[in-house]
Structure 1
Amino acid sequence: MNPILLDFPEEFYTERLHIRMPNPGDGKVVHEAILASREELKPWMPFAQKEQSVEELEANIREAHAQFLKREDLRLHIFHKETGEFIGSSGLHRMNWDVPKFEIGYWIDTRHSGKGYMSEAVQGITDFAFRELKARRVEIRVDSRNTKSRRIPERLGFTLEGILKNDALAEDGNGLRDTCIYAKVK
């Protein structure tokens, strides 16, 4: 089946969060979150390596919106359900619709870290993938040095299937990195 024909929700809720596809107009809040979090994100995220303008981020978000609709990549934005504040970004990436399998990636606005929001979001996205997308496998790939990020799949019961040694150049250009592969399967 062609994935563009799949109908599934473009948003859902967890106990404290509203999780939805990126929409035109999200650029400003995402830009503010990246600026507030850039130093914490820089060792791990390619988009944090150079400062981007609001316009550049808005264009990126509009591309992500189109990719979501075309089922090529399912970026998701995370907002606080009560206040509407932008918390961070996640999504289902590197999909193989034939299996189907997905990889969850995530980052959080530093001003909201340490409150369990990303663990809640990742659990919600995992449940969404298994329930709505009939996933057979959900992966999380994490730089072995990123201990905060590693705690999320460990806390949520993902299995560490292996560590790929010298898998990639570190995002900040500081040597090679090892990649931990966590997964849940159905």
Structure 2
Amino acid sequence: MKNTITRIETPHLLLRIFQPEDAEILKERLDDNLPILMPWIPWAKHEPEPLEAKRDRIRSWIGDFYSNKEYGYVVFEKSTGEFVASCNLFGRRGKGTTEIGYWVDHLKTGRGYATEISYALTKLSFEHMGIEKVLLYIDDRNIASQRIPAKLNFTHEYTYRELPKDAEGERLKFQVWAMFEEEFEKVDKFEAVEFKWS
């Protein structure tokens, strides 16, 4: 897995590699979104963290990017410059695959941005990284997130159970959605995507 793309422009969004100076806005928006993220994202339980720790974390993400471990992007709205999301491409599911991860600021949900981000990262994986299979792992309770891969013609391959339990004592379940390279279909409204590298 190798990726040299540090900046992506979509019709409505700018995705770029994190920089240490993003720590302030990332902490501000994460802290505001924590009550919403807690049920869905395991790492949210370790938040909030101090600003300097956030800067150190971003520096580690930059190192991971350039050492081809995983690729993190901060996402801004092109029209306003406002923070929208954080997203990642992970290589933890095996050779020839990437896994998309993201969270969207609650102030920017309902605008199709998660779908636009997922489309851009899928296109990046297939057209610039030589990836054969893109995956999304989605909590079975998260109905809104399940709509995103469905819109992009991913296939729901299976649902599995984890050891942790939810607040009602039920085992957490995750859906696995997948798309192979030959199944990728262009979506006209998202197709004005530019990939840039530095």
- Structure 1 residue 170 displacement after superposition: 5.0
Q: In the TM superposition, what whole-angstrom CA distance separates every residue of 1:22-81 from its partner, at most 9, and x where no partner exists?
A: 111111111111122111101011232132222222211111111001110111111112
TM-score by length of 2: 0.84
Aligned residues: 180
1:73 aligns with 2:88: no
TM-score by length of 1: 0.89
Identify the residue that residue 172 of structure 2 maps to in structure 1. Answer: 177
Cα distance change on mapping 1:32 and 1:173 into 2, 3 Å: farther
Q: Which has the higher contact order (CA 8 A, sep 6+)?
A: 2
1:36 aligns with 2:32: yes
1:51 aligns with 2:9: no
Which amino acid in structure 2 is aligned with residue 55 of structure 1? E
Identify the residue that residue 91 of structure 1 maps to in structure 2. Answer: 88
Which of 7, 10, 14 is the matching residue for 1:14? 10
The answer (yes or no) to whether the contact 1:75–1:91 under 8 Å persists in 2 is: yes
Bigger drift between 133-142 and 71-80 goes to: 71-80
Which amino acid in structure 2 is aligned with residue 60 of structure 1? R
C-alpha root-mean-square deviation of aligned residues, in Å? 2.0
Helix, strand or coil at the partner of 1:104: strand
The answer (yes or no) to whether the contact 1:141–1:181 under 8 Å persists in 2 is: yes
- Structure 1 residue 172 displacement after superposition: 7.5
1:24 aligns with 2:20: yes
- Structure 1 residue 110 displacement after superposition: 0.6
Tell me, in whole angstroms, the C-alpha distance in 1 between the residues paired with 2:108 and 2:166.
23
Cα distance change on mapping 1:40 and 1:157 into 2, 3 Å: same
Q: What are the ranges of 5 or more consecutive residues in structure 1 without an aligned counterpart? A: none
Which of 114, 130, 135 is the matching residue for 1:134? 130
Helix, strand or coil at the partner of 2:28: helix
The answer (yes or no) to whether the contact 1:44–1:172 under 8 Å persists in 2 is: no
Q: What are the ranges of 5 or more consecutive residues in structure 2 without an aligned counterpart? A: 182-198
Cα distance change on mapping 1:110 and 1:101 into 2, 3 Å: same
The equivalences for 1:96-107 within 5 A come to 99-107=95-103
Helix, strand or coil at the partner of 1:134: coil
Helix, strand or coil at the partner of 1:153: helix
Q: In the TM superposition, what whole-angstrom CA distance separates every residue of 1:113-151 from its partner, at most 9, and x where no partner exists?
A: 111111111111111111110110000001100111111
Which amino acid in structure 1 is aligned with residue 64 of structure 2? Q
